[in-house]
Amino acid sequence: MRGPHNIIRLIRTGATLERTGAMNVVLDAFEAPPALRFVARALGWPFQWLGYKGDPAMPPATRALTALGPAYIKFGQVLSTRPDVVGDELAAQLRVLQDKLPPFPRDEAMAEVERALGQPVSNMFDSFSEPIAAASIAQVHKARLVSDGQAVAVKVLRPRIERAFQKDIDAFYLAARIVDLFAPGARRLRPMEVIEHFHGVVRGELDLRLESSAASEFAANTGNDAGFALPPILWNYSARRVMTLGWADGVPLGDNTALDLAGHDRVDLSERVLRLFLLHALRDGYFHADMHQGNLKVAPNGDIIAYDFGIMGHIDEYTRRVYAEILFGFIRRDYQRVAEVHFEAGYVPATQDVDEFARALRAVGEPIFGMDASHISMGRLLSYLFEVTERFGMETRTELILLQRTMVVVEGVARSLNPHMNIWQVARPVVEDYIKKSIGPRALASDLGKTARVLARFGPRLPGLVERALIAQAADPEPERPGWRSWVWPGLAGAALGGALVLAVQTLG
C-alpha cells in the first residue's frame, strides 16, 4: 500500500527513536554511515513532539519499539534472532521484548471464531473464557468443547491485524530503500533481506493454519520422545484466523518455587530441555525456535510441554551433519578437524589457509574450555565461531544464526533450572549418537540408496536421454565437449550400485 502514510509513519518512528533515546543505539548497532545518520536525524529530531514517550523504565530500544506498537514489537523480536545484523548488544536488548498488549473484548473474539468456523460459538463450546493471554498478533481463551467436554485453548487473531501489519511493513520497505540509497556499502545492513525475512515470518504468523501445520509436523517428529509432549491440534475447530488445541495443564518452567513445591527434579529438567532441543535440531532438522520459559510447562507427570509454534527452525540434512561434526570437533578439542569440515563444506573459501583457520578456532575454543563447567556456553561458542568464520570470508547462514540464537535461549532456560550444569557433558551423548548414525558405512549405504531411488524414478526416461545424447554427439562432435559417456554411464552405474546397496541394507535390516 503505497502512499503518504508511509512517510508519516517513518517520521513518527524517527521521532519516537529520538524521544526515547534509541536513535543512537540503533544507528550504532547498524554501523550507519554519516549520510544515513543525517537522514535518520532529519526524520526524527525536528518532530520529537510527534514521537511516543514509552515506558522510561525500559532500555531505549525496547522502550521505543514497544511504544510504536505490534508490528514494531514483532520486528524487534525477529531482529533479536539476527545478531549478525544488529550486533550482540542490541540483540540481547531485543530478546527481552514482551508483546503483552491489552486484550480485545471477548465478544469480538467470539465473533471472529464464528466467522472463521461458520457456526455459533454455543454450538461448539460450552464455555468461552475472558482472554488469558494477549500478544501483538493474537490472544488466547480457555474453552470447553460441547462434543466431549474437553478443555481447549482457542487462539484468535486480533481484528484487522493483517491490515495494520501491512501498513507498517510497507513503511519498513520504504525505510529499507532509503538505507539502500544512502548507505549502499554499509556492512551488515542488508536492509531489503532483513525486511523480506520479517515479512515472511509475519505472513506465517498471520495464517494460523500454518502454525497448526507446524505444530502437527513437530508432533509427528517428536511423538516417541520420552518426557516431552505437545498439545494436540483440533483441526475441526481451526482455520486461518482461529487455532484450537488441547489445554496444557502444568507448572511454568520459569517458576522454580512452584516446580519445587510440585516435586519436580530441576536438575533432570535442565538436562532434558537441552537434550531435547539438540535432538530435534540434529535428528529432525526441525526445532522449536522460541523455547523460552513462557512457552514451556511441566505436566504433573513430569513431561515438558511446549506450545506456541509461530517460529520454527529448519536445517537440511547436509547442514545438520556439518554442524554436528563441528560441535563434535569442539567437544574433542580437535580444531584441525573443525577447520577441515568448514573447508570441505565450502563454508570458508578454498583460497584461505586451513592451518591458520585452525589456529583461529583454537583461540575461540580454548578460553571457553578453560572456564568452570557452569560457565561453558555452546551458544557463546557458536557466536565466537561465526565472528571468526566471517573474518575468513564465510557468508552468513541464516538458519545457523537462528540455531545459535535458540541455543542461547535454551541454555538460559537450562541454567535457570540448574546453574551448575555442564553443557558439554549433557550435549555430548546426543551429538555422538547423531554422528554414529549419520556419518559412516551405514549412512553411506543409506545415502546411496536414496540416490538410487531418485534415479530409479527416471528409469523410463533413461533410454530417451541416451538417444538424445548420441544424436547430439553425432551432430556436433566437438572434441573438447564431454561426451554422453561421461555422464550416462556413471549415472547408470550409480543407480545399479545404489540399488544393490538398498537391497543389501533391506536384507541386513
Instruction: Tell me whether strands 304-306 and 228-229 are parallel, antiparallel or unpaired.
Output: parallel
pLDDT for the residue numbered 317: 87
- Domain shared by 426 and 464, yes or no: no
pLDDT tens figures, 89-118: 777 777 767 667 789 999 999 999 999 999
Q: Quick one: average pLDDT of 341-359?
A: 89
Ramachandran angles phi, psi of 127, nearest 5°: -140, 155
- Domain shared by 286 and 356, yes or no: yes
Tell me the three state secondary structure of residue 177: helix
pLDDT for the residue numbered 60: 86
- Domain shared by 239 and 350, yes or no: no
Query: How far apart are the C-alpha atoms of 77 and 94, rounded to whole Å?
Result: 6
- Domain shared by 48 and 173, yes or no: yes
Decide if pLDDT at 443 tops 50: yes
Instruction: Give the pLDDT band of residue 455 (cuts 50, 70, 90).
Output: low
Decide if pLDDT at 444 tops 80: no
Query: How far apart are the C-alpha atoms of 112 and 118, rounded to whole Å?
Result: 10
pLDDT for the residue numbered 479: 53
Give CA separation, 227 vs 196, 272, 298, 409, in Å.
Answer: 37, 8, 10, 20
Last residue of a domain, one of 439, 470, 494: 439
Query: In total, how many domains does the chain have?
Result: 4
For residue 207, give the nearest of 291, 314, 309 by alpha carbon.
309
Instruction: Give the pLDDT band of residue 484 (cuts 50, 70, 90).
Output: very low
Decide if pLDDT at 14 tops 60: yes
Domain, as residue range, for 490: 441-508
Residues near 338 by Cβ (< 8 Å), separated by ≥ 6? 325, 326, 329, 330, 358, 361
356, with CB counted inside 10 A (0-12, 13-18, 19+), is exposed
pTM of structure: 0.74
Query: How far apart are the C-alpha atoms of 475 and 175, rounded to whole Å?
Result: 56
- Domain shared by 323 and 386, yes or no: yes
**Sign of the torsion formed by the C-alpha atoms of 57, 59, 65 and 66:** negative
Q: Quick one: average pLDDT of 277-286?
A: 93
Q: Quick one: average pLDDT of 444-462?
A: 68
Contact 304, 229 (CB under 8 A): yes
Last residue of a domain, one of 380, 412, 439: 439
Task: Provide, rounded to the nearest whole percent, the portion of the chain with pLDDT above 90.
Answer: 29
pLDDT tens figures, 151-205: 999 999 999 898 888 888 888 888 888 777 776 655 455 677 778 877 887 887 8
Decide if pLDDT at 286 tops 70: yes
pLDDT mean across residues, the chain:
81
**Active-site hit among 84, 168, 225, 290:** 290
- Residues 421-430 as b or e (16 or more Cβ within 10 Å = b): bebbebbeeb
- Domain shared by 315 and 427, yes or no: yes
Last residue of a domain, one of 415, 439, 463: 439
Query: How far apart are the C-alpha atoms of 436 and 99, rounded to whole Å?
Result: 42
More confident residue, 373 or 131: 131
- Domain shared by 254 and 219, yes or no: no
More confident residue, 453 or 151: 151
- Domain shared by 373 and 290, yes or no: yes
For residue 241, give the nearest of 74, 118, 99 by alpha carbon.
118
- Domain shared by 65 and 80, yes or no: yes
Q: Quick one: average pLDDT of 282-310?
A: 91
- Domain shared by 234 and 153, yes or no: yes
Report the CATH number at residue 227: 3.30.200.20
Range in 159-163, 185-189, 208-212, 503-507 the model is least confident about: 503-507
What size, in residues, is the chain? 509
- Domain shared by 261 and 398, yes or no: yes
pLDDT for the residue numbered 83: 66
290 is catalytic: yes
- Domain shared by 385 and 423, yes or no: yes
pLDDT for the residue numbered 143: 97
Range in 12-26, 279-293, 334-348, 487-501 the model is least confident about: 487-501
